């Protein structure tokens, strides 16, 4: 959440699933019309898999 929180709005986690030893996190920020998907590995490293803005 902290990784995507900007000055506009608040990030909400929509779902968390596991896949190949990673967490797949789907999130959205309704206030700035942004959403996306990230992966987090066991070391806590975050990789953005995709982001969209309305």
The pTM for the full model equals 0.79
pLDDT score at 46: 92
Beta bridge partners of residue 28, listed in sequence order: 12, 35
| Residues 36, 13: Cα–Cα separation, whole Å | 10
Which pLDDT score, from 0 to 100, does residue 9 have?
81
pLDDT digits (tens, 9 = 90+) for 1-52: 555 565 678 889 999 999 989 999 999 999 889 999 999 999 999 999 999 9
pLDDT of residue 34: 92
For residue 31, the 8-state DSSP code is G
């Amino acid at each position: 959440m902290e990784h995507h929180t900007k000055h506009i709005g608040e990030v909400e986690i929509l779902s968390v699933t596991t896949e190949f030893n990673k967490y797949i996190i789907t999130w959205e920020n309704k206030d700035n019309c942004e959403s996306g998907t990230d992966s987090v590995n066991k070391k806590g490293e975050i990789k953005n898999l995709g982001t969209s803005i309305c």
